[in-house]
Amino acid sequence: MISCLVGPGPGALAVPRVTRGLDAAGHRVEVVLEERARSFVGPAAFASHAAVVEEPSPSPAAALYAPACPGVLARLARGLAHPPPGARSVLVAPELDAATAAHPAVRENLGLLERRGFAVVRGEGDQMAPPGEILARTLGALGGPLEGLRVLVTAGGTREPIDGVRFIGNRSSGKMGLALARAALRLGAGVCVVAANVAGREPGVGWVEVETVQEMREEVLRRAGRADALVMAAAVSDFTPAERVGGKIRRRNAGEYLLRLRPTADILREVRERFPRLFVVGFAATHGDPVSEARRKLREKGADLVVGNDVFRAGIGFGADENEVWIVGPDDERFVPRSSKDEVARAILDVVKDHIERKRRETDGGEDRAHHRLQRRR
């Protein structure tokens, strides 16, 4: 059970997005609406996914105060109010105007709360932190088998401009990459997504938007050194036009236009060469035998795992809601039968977790920082 104690303020309008995210992650949620908060958000906003109660239940997995006004912060900091008894984690998301946030007493109260083990989720300026950040921090406080790990995920499909209006692209929707990001977040990892032309945005994760292979390369290399695992689920173009026309290519009387292509950067190979300790998962979109293609990519790219799938099969290709994959490692392989992409993502991350643990034990006796994070429990 997660208890969400909603205080007054404009930020209360955003709290249903947090509670819906917690519900979608499989947690039971209860909401306590302070009387003054009801002028901003009513019980109906929570009816579909949470129980609105008068008092929080004892021993919740986490208690979240959002938005937390100065009075609530002061009462919690000074022991005049107490979180639900037995709460394993307590988070506060303050909503403070600039003058209040700068007041010495408020700053002291926030410091007291942090020293007492409260997680303070700070926003920008006078705003409460975004719902996605509050959701991510709450899920992180709950722990999980990937707790403490930092996972970088690529999603979507790159586009290589031909001219100002045309491009070379692919049919990837990004659904598999987003499913992997959701699954990693629910398992306790910190997640950042490098998204290429993906419709929508996944709440609770870091989010970087790119268009081309070069842009994706730059963003992945910029973040790979701070990650423990990289999952390259994006469909990355193998070629880009050798020359880009600035305007629009006009139809010619001759009827033909010769387009010269050159290879794009091999992001997966470069990541492996520059970050040898990073756990790297590649994807092999194939036509025919996914295992053979995954093994070839595993051998040639130096990835730790490669996920192979036949994107030409009806119902499991680009844009579909289901998938069927082979997860191929150096010494083993696992078949994941056709299921939802969320279920496939969980299966992939279960294998990733097992392989990370094994790799860390084999390389340095389990003393690596990521292995320590994986074993730590709050």
**N residues, the chain:** 378
What is the DSSP track for 147-215? TT-EEEEEEEB--EESSSS-EE-----SHHHHHHHHHHHHTT-EEEEEEES-SS--TTSEEEEE-SHHH
Exposed/middle/buried for 81, CB within 10 Å: 0-12, 13-18, 19+?
Answer: middle
Residue 137 has a pLDDT of 84
Global pTM value: 0.72
Residue 91 has a pLDDT of 95
pLDDT (tens digit, 9 = 90+) per residue, 76-133? 998 898 999 999 899 999 999 888 888 999 999 999 999 989 999 988 777 899 888 8
Name the CA dihedral angle for 206, 3, 378, 370, rounded to a multiple of 10 degrees. -20
* Same fold? 2-142, 150-375: yes
Residue 12 has a pLDDT of 95
Interatomic CA distance for residues 181 and 195, integer angstroms: 11
What's the CATH number for 2-142? 3.40.50.1950
Do the strands 261-263 and 239-241 form a parallel or antiparallel pair, or are they unpaired? antiparallel
Interatomic CA distance for residues 181 and 177, integer angstroms: 6
Phi, psi of 299, deg, nearest 5: -70, -45
Tell me how far CA of residue 336 lies from CA of 212, 322, 341, in angstroms: 31, 11, 11
Domain boundaries, the chain: 2-142, 150-375
Interatomic CA distance for residues 210 and 59, integer angstroms: 43
Q: What is the mean pLDDT of each run of 10 residues along the chain (378 residues)?
A: 94 94 87 95 95 94 94 92 91 91 92 92 84 85 82 97 93 93 86 92 85 97 95 96 87 75 96 95 90 93 94 85 94 93 94 84 58 48
Residue 377 has a pLDDT of 42
Are 310 and 287 contacting, i.e. CB atoms less than 8 angstroms apart?
yes
Question: Which H or E element spans position 363?
Answer: helix 341-364
- Roughly how many angstroms between the first and final C-alpha of the chain, as a whole number? 17
Name the CA dihedral angle for 296, 299, 303, 305, rounded to a multiple of 10 degrees. 60
Which residues sit opposite 6 in a β-bridge? Answer: 33
Are 158 and 130 contacting, i.e. CB atoms less than 8 angstroms apart?
no
Residue 369 has a pLDDT of 52
Residue 138 CB neighbour total at 10 angstroms = 28
Which residues sit opposite 5 in a β-bridge? Answer: 32, 65
Q: Which CATH superfamily is domain 150-375 in?
A: CoaB-like (3.40.50.10300)
Interatomic CA distance for residues 287 and 270, integer angstroms: 25
